[in-house]
Amino acid sequence: MDPEENQKEPTKEELLQKELKETQDKYLRTLAELENMRKRLQKEKQEMIGFAIENTICEFLPLLDNFENALKFAQIASNEVKGWASGFQMLLTQFRDVIHNHGIVAFHSEGNLFDPAFHEAMEVVESNDHPDCSIIEEFAKGYKSANRTIRPAKVKVCKKPEIKEEPIAAEEETAPSGEENNLN
């Protein structure tokens, strides 16, 4: 018997079955690819919308700071100004609620260690009264979302003073040896 005789040529039906199976496989792969692309585009769209909202809110943060500063000074003003200030306090509360609803929150910095991801050093002072790299004053609040820092806090940072060796100490060490030479 010839080995070629044992291997029959596939029939037309078998060829069509094989082609159908390959076509079905390609179809299912294409469907899965389209579904993955749809999910990826949806995710990218949500990220872009969130980024746009965060950037827009970031532009309003200086206004929020000004509102807060004005309300601090209104507490020492006349009763009429205090009446106006209570209305503005309500507006400020509403504004804070809006930014909070979009996942943006202010963070406290004073007393924490300096982190360049969250803080911008506006001033550095040398002091032994506070730990090295600690924040001793916050000039402007920082804001963050779940994904990133919207605006870093503007802060004053404490730095340990550098210990300087006095040149006088070096001269005193050489002076006694000079005196010994004079005694001889």
- 112 domain residue, yes or no: yes
| Residue range 152-174, pLDDT digits in tens | 999 999 988 877 766 665 555 55
DSSP at 21: H
Helices (runs of H) and strands (runs of E) counted in the chain: 4, 6
Over residues 68-94, mean pLDDT: 85
C-alpha to C-alpha distance for 47 and 45, rounded to whole angstroms: 5
- 50 domain residue, yes or no: no
| Residue range 15-36, pLDDT digits in tens | 999 999 999 999 999 999 999 9
- 65 domain residue, yes or no: no
- 110 domain residue, yes or no: yes
What are the two backbone dihedrals, phi and then psi, of residue 173, each rounded to the nearest 5 degrees? -65, -35
- 154 token code pair: 């503007």
The answer for residues whose C-beta is within 8 angstroms of residue 88's C-beta and 6 or more apart is 67, 70, 71, 74
- 121 domain residue, yes or no: yes
The pLDDT-based confidence of 105 (bands split at 50, 70, 90) is very high
CATH code of residue 144: 2.30.22.10
Q: Which domain holds residue 124?
A: 105-159
pLDDT, residue 31, reads 96
pLDDT, residue 172, reads 53
- 139 domain residue, yes or no: yes
Top-confidence residue, 94 or 164: 94
- 166 domain residue, yes or no: no
In terms of Cβ atoms closer than 10 Å to its own Cβ (0-12, 13-18, 19+), residue 145 is middle
- 82 domain residue, yes or no: no
How many structural domains does the chain have? 1
